[in-house]
Structure 1
Amino acid sequence: MQRYQLHIGGREVEPAGGRWLETQNPFTGETWAEIPRGDARDVDRAVQAAHQALTQGPWSEMTATQRGQLLHRLGDLVARDARKLAETEVRDNGKLLAEMLGQLNYIPQWYYYYGGLADKVQGAVLPLDKKGYFSFTRHEPLGVVAAITPWNSPLLLATWKIAPALAAGCTVVIKPSEFTSASTLEFARLFDEAGFPPGVFNVVTGLGDEVGSPLVDHPLVRKISFTGSDTTGRRINEQAARQLKHTAMELGGKSPNIVFEDADLEQAVFGAISGIFAATGQTCIAGSRLLVQDSVHDQVVGKLLDVARTARMGDPMDADTQVGPVTTQPQYRKVLEYLQVATQEGAKVLLGGRAADRPECGKGWFVEPTIFGDVKNSMRIAQEEVFGPVLSIIRFKDEAEAVQIANDVRFGLAAAVWTRDIGRALRMSEKLQAGTVWVNTYRAVSFMAPFGGYKDSGLGRENGIDAIREFLQVKSVWINSGAVSGNPFVLR
C-alpha cells in the first residue's frame, strides 16, 4: 500500500487534517494506494505558496526565455519517466497501457511547444488617432490559476492547462480527481527536479466540496480552468462569477459521427469503433451518436457488429486488451442505468447491453461494448453524455437532415464526417456546431490545434496559440510625448 503526500511550496507535506482517501484499481477492484484528503487549510497553504512565487519569488524575476527553458527540461523528464507514469495511470483509472503510454510519450511535446512559445508573446505599438502620445500593449500573467482535472486522462488534460499557464508566467494549484490523483502527485516531483522555484506548481488532492470549492473561492485565485461534467462546470462557473474570476470550461459532449453513402465504409467503421470503444468510451469527444445515411445503414451496421464483436476485454496492462474497465464504481453504475433507460425508451440492443461477466474481466468494473439501433435523437441515450462504451445508431436521409440531427443536442464539442466529396466535407464543417470537426478520421488531437466546445460543451480554448492567451491579460500603456494639456475637465 502506497501513501502519497500533498505537494505544496516545493515540498511533500501531509494534509492538515491527517486524513487519506483510498484509491482502487478498476481492474481488480482492490485498494492500491492512499491519497491525501486535503481541506481548506491545505488549499490556503498552496494558494499562498503560488501567490508568493508569482509576486516575490524567483519565478517573478525570470525572463520568459528562462521559463521556457524550465518547461523544456520538464518535458525531457516526462519523456524519461513516461512508462512509470503511464503504469500509475493504468492502476488508477483502468485505461489501456497502450493508450496511456501513447499519451505520456506525447505529453512532452506540449512542454516543448509552450516552452518555445513563452518568449514569443508580443504586445504592439498602437497607431493612435491622437497626436503627442505614444501607446503600446503588454501581455501579463493573470495570476494564480486553479486547475481542476478529471479522472479519464489525468496527466494529458492537466498538461493542457499547466503548460500554457506556466508559459504565460502564471503559477498553478491543481486539484485532480479524487479517483485518480496518484499520477499527478508523482508528476509534481518532476517540477522540483527540473528546477522550478517552490510554489510555482502545487497539488492539493481531496473531495470537491472540501478542496475544489475552497480553491475556486480563494481570493488570490484569478482563473479557474476546469475539465469535467457540465453540471459541475456550471456550478463552478457560477461560484467563480461571484468574484468576477476568469474561467475556462471543457464540459463534455454528445458528438455525432456522420457516415455518408459515398464514404469509405471500412474506414468509417473503424472510425466509429475508435470514437466510442477506445478508452472504454470515457472521453469527452466520444462519438457516441453514429449517424448513418439510409442507403448504407444496413451495410455499415453489419460491418460495425462484425468488428465490435471481436473486441478483447481484460487486463489493461496486457498489450492485447482493447477494452478496459470503467474507471470508477459510480460511473460503472451510471452506465448500467443508461442501458436500462435505452431499452425502456425503445432502443434495440444490437450488441452487449449489460455488465461484462467474462473470466478475463476478473472482479473489475466492465461493461460489454454496446450498440443500440432504432435510436431516435430525442431519446435520453442520444441526448445525454453516458461516458461509457455505448453507441447509438441514428438514420438520416440527406445532408440537411444529418446537420439537423447532429446539431440537435445541447453539446457541441466535436463531430466527424465520413465522405469522399470535398464540397460536402467543407459544407458540413461549416454547418456543424462543434469546436472540432474531423473529416475521415476521429480522435485526433495536437498541441498545435485549439480545442474546446460550443454551447454546453464549455468556454474558452485549450491547445495551440489560443491557449496561452487564456492565461494573459492585456494592458494598454499611454505615454505623453508632447501633447499639450487642455481643459482638465474634458476627456483627453
Structure 2
Amino acid sequence: MTRTHEEWKAAAAALTFDGRPVIDGARVDASTGRTIEKRNPATGEVISQIHECDETDVDRAVAAARRSFEAGDWSRAGAGFRRERLLELANLIEARADEFALYDSLDMGKPVREAATIDAPGSAALYRFYGEAVEKQEDLIPVTPPGSTALVTREALGVVAVVVAWNYPLEIATWKLAPALAAGNSVVVKPPVEASHSALLLAELAVEAGIPAGVLNVVTGRGSVIGRALGRHEDVDMLAFTGSTEVAKQLQQYAGESNMKRLALEAGGKSSNLIFADCDDLAAAAAKAAFGSFYNQGEVCSANSRIFVEREVYEDFLRLYAEAARAYAPGDPLDPETGTGSLVSEAHADTVWATIENARRDGRIVAGGTRPEINGSRAFIEPTIVTDVPIDHEVHTREIFGPVAVVTPFDTEEEAIARANETPYGLAASLWTGSLSRAYRVSQRLVAGTVSVNTVDALGFTTPFGGFKQSGFGRDLSVHALENYTDYKTTWMQWG
C-alpha cells in the first residue's frame, strides 16, 4: 500500500529507536557508558542516542564472531542451510520494509518513498540472490599425475569486518553482508554513526531468521575508533568497506600494521557523462543526466557529476538538463511527492554550499544554487548546475557528495575521453551516442569499473560493481563478490 504524507508522518512518530549495539545475538550497552545524540537532518529533531562503543566492544564482537565461526553452526552447516536462513531473512526484511525505510529516511534524509520501494525490497532480493547463488557454486578437480587426486574448494575466510557509508545504510550493508554470510563467514558490522538503526534492526532479524548468535554483530560508534579498531584487529581476517578514498587509504595502513587482513575497498568517485551530438534522444539523455547527478541528493559515490557535451548540442542539452533538474527539487523526505530529501546533516550541507558559492564566484550557475529552509532545517540544497569554470576547479576535481554537477563543452571524441579520464577516480562513467562503433570505441578507453552506454550508473545483481585507480578494488554484487569473502584451498591426495 502506498502511504500518504500524513500516514508516513504518523508512522514516523510511532517508530521506536534503540541505539544499543548487537553483540552475540543480543542488544548490549556500550562499555563506555557514552552515547552520541542522533538528529533527523530534515528537522533537526533528536531522534535517538547511539551507543558510543570503543575497542573493548570491538573485541567482544570479534570474539563472538570467531566463536560462532569455529563452532561451525553456520560456517560448516552447508550451503543449503545457509540458503534457507537467508531466504527467511529476506522475508523478514520485506515484512518490515516500511520500518527499514523510515529508519534510513529519518537517519540520513533520503525520501522515504525511495527507501521503501527500492532500498528495502532490493536488499531483501539480494539476500535471496546470494542464498541461491552459493548453493550453485562448484568445486574443482583439476588434472593431476596418475596416482593422485586434487580437490580445489572455496573456503570462507573467517571473521569479516564490514564498514559502510551512510548514503545507503541498509542497501550498501547488504552488498557486503549477503555474500559474506552466504559464503559461511561470521561478521562484525560498523554502521555509519549518522545512520545506524537499519543495521541494528537487521542484526535482530538475522537471529529471528535462524542465523546463529554471533554470526552477525553490529558495533555502533565513531569510525575513528571502531573502524580503526577493526582495521588493526589481529583476529579479523578480511575487511570490506564503502566510503571515502581517504579512509580507504587509512584502512590499507591498518591492515599492513596488523595481520595483513584482506581488503575490498569501494572508495570515492567523480564520474563523467559524455553526451555526443549523434545521441538519438537528447531529452532522454538530459533526463537521465539529472537522475545520475541529483538522485539521492547527489550523495552517491558513482554520481555522474562531470558532464561533457559535444559543442554542437551543448546549449540544447543545457536547457533540457536544467528543465529535468526541477524534478529533483528538495522537500520533506516523508512526503511521497518530494523530489529529493535533505543532505545527511547541516554540517555536510555547509560544505556543499561552500563549493556552490565558489562556483558562483568563478563560473556560472545555470540552475539551482539556492539553499531553502524546510521544516526548520538548513540541510536542503536545490539541485545545482555549474558551467564556465576552469577545468581544474574543485567542482571538476573533488567528490562533492551533494546535488552539484558541472557541464563543459568538448569538440572532439579524443578530447572527451581525455577529460573523462582526468581524475584520480575510476568508479563509473556514462556515454550517449547513436553510433555502435563509437559506443564500443569510447567505452573501451574510459577508465571506470562500470561504463553505461545510453543510460547512467547502470548496475544489477548479476554484474560486478567497483572501481579502478583511487576508487578502490574488489567488487560488490554478482557472483564475483563471493570472491571477496572466500579463497581457494587445494587438498591433494596421493594414492600411489
Normalised TM-score (structure 1): 0.94
- Give the letter for the 2:96 counterpart: D
The alignment status of 1:30 with 2:45, answered yes or no, reads yes
Going from structure 1 to structure 2, the CA distance change for 1:323 and 1:147 (only over 3 Å counts) comes to same
Describe the superposition over 1:290-349 as per-residue Cα deviations: whole angstroms up to 9, x where unpaired: 1110000001011112232454321011011002111123321211121233344x2212
Secondary structure, aligned partner of 1:409: coil
Distance 1:309 1:96 in 2: 16
Describe the superposition over 1:221-272 as per-residue Cα deviations: whole angstroms up to 9, x where unpaired: 0001000000011111111123211000001210001111121101001011
Match for residue 299 of structure 1 among 309, 313, 316: 316
Aligned to 1:321: 338
Distance 2:363 2:484 in 1: 42
Describe the superposition over 1:429-457 as per-residue Cα deviations: whole angstroms up to 9, x where unpaired: 21111001111112332221100001111
Asked whether the 8 Å contact 1:375–1:393 carries over to 2, the reply is no
Distance 2:311 2:356 in 1: 25
The alignment status of 1:337 with 2:354, answered yes or no, reads yes
| 1:354 CA drift (Å) | 3.9
- Give the letter for the 2:463 counterpart: A
Asked whether the 8 Å contact 1:315–1:361 carries over to 2, the reply is yes
Aligned to 1:193: 208
Asked whether the 8 Å contact 1:339–1:354 carries over to 2, the reply is no
Distance 1:114 1:459 in 2: 21
| 1:220 CA drift (Å) | 1.0
Distance 2:250 2:114 in 1: 31
The alignment status of 1:55 with 2:70, answered yes or no, reads yes
Asked whether the 8 Å contact 2:24–2:216 carries over to 1, the reply is yes
- Give the letter for the 1:458 counterpart: G
Distance 1:341 1:77 in 2: 47
Secondary structure, aligned partner of 2:74: helix
Aligned to 1:89: 104
Describe the superposition over 1:364-399 as per-residue Cα deviations: whole angstroms up to 9, x where unpaired: 411121110113332221011000000100111121
The alignment status of 1:479 with 2:496, answered yes or no, reads no
Distance 2:444 2:390 in 1: 24
Asked whether the 8 Å contact 1:274–1:443 carries over to 2, the reply is no
The alignment status of 1:408 with 2:392, answered yes or no, reads no
Quick check: 449-458 or 234-243, which moved more? 234-243
Aligned to 1:207: 222
Describe the superposition over 1:183-233 as per-residue Cα deviations: whole angstroms up to 9, x where unpaired: 111121111110110100000000122211111111110001000000011
Match for residue 366 of structure 1 among 380, 389, 403: 380
- Give the letter for the 2:394 counterpart: R
Q: Where do 1:71-150 residues align within 5 Å?
A: 71-101=86-116, 102-128=118-144, 130-150=145-165
- Give the letter for the 1:12 counterpart: R
Distance 2:210 2:455 in 1: 40
| Identity of matched residues, % | 37
Aligned to 1:375: 389
Distance 1:155 1:291 in 2: 33
Secondary structure, aligned partner of 1:21: strand
- Give the letter for the 1:406 counterpart: A
Quick check: 41-50 or 471-480, which moved more? 471-480
| 1:353 CA drift (Å) | 2.5
Aligned to 1:152: 167
Describe the superposition over 1:32-88 as per-residue Cα deviations: whole angstroms up to 9, x where unpaired: 111111111110110000001100152234111111111111111111111111011
Distance 2:153 2:324 in 1: 55
Q: Where do 1:377-392 residues align within 5 Å?
A: 377-392=391-406
Describe the superposition over 1:390-411 as per-residue Cα deviations: whole angstroms up to 9, x where unpaired: 0100111121111111011010
The alignment status of 1:355 with 2:371, answered yes or no, reads yes
Describe the superposition over 1:9-49 as per-residue Cα deviations: whole angstroms up to 9, x where unpaired: 01111111111111111110111111111111110110000
Distance 2:378 2:216 in 1: 34
Asked whether the 8 Å contact 2:439–2:453 carries over to 1, the reply is yes
Secondary structure, aligned partner of 2:22: strand
- Give the letter for the 2:48 counterpart: A
| 1:3 CA drift (Å) | 3.8
Distance 1:433 1:315 in 2: 37
Secondary structure, aligned partner of 2:135: helix
Q: Where do 1:33-44 residues align within 5 Å?
A: 33-44=48-59
The alignment status of 1:223 with 2:238, answered yes or no, reads yes
Aligned to 1:485: none
Distance 1:71 1:162 in 2: 11
Distance 1:231 1:342 in 2: 24
- Give the letter for the 1:304 counterpart: Y
Aligned to 2:289: 272
Going from structure 1 to structure 2, the CA distance change for 1:81 and 1:364 (only over 3 Å counts) comes to farther
Secondary structure, aligned partner of 1:59: coil
Secondary structure, aligned partner of 2:321: helix
- Give the letter for the 1:308 counterpart: A
Aligned to 1:235: 250
Asked whether the 8 Å contact 1:109–1:447 carries over to 2, the reply is no
Q: 5+ residue gaps in structure 1?
A: 483-492
Going from structure 1 to structure 2, the CA distance change for 1:297 and 1:95 (only over 3 Å counts) comes to same
Q: 5+ residue gaps in structure 2?
A: 1-15
Match for residue 417 of structure 1 among 400, 425, 431: 431
| 1:361 CA drift (Å) | 5.3
Output the aligned Cα RMSD.
1.4
Distance 1:375 1:272 in 2: 19
> How many residues were matched structurally?
478
Aligned to 1:464: 478
Asked whether the 8 Å contact 1:188–1:203 carries over to 2, the reply is yes
Distance 1:467 1:326 in 2: 30
Going from structure 1 to structure 2, the CA distance change for 1:310 and 1:75 (only over 3 Å counts) comes to closer
Distance 1:234 1:333 in 2: 25
| 1:356 CA drift (Å) | 2.4
The alignment status of 1:444 with 2:458, answered yes or no, reads yes
Distance 1:218 1:430 in 2: 40
Distance 1:481 1:237 in 2: 43
Normalised TM-score (structure 2): 0.94
Aligned to 1:249: 265
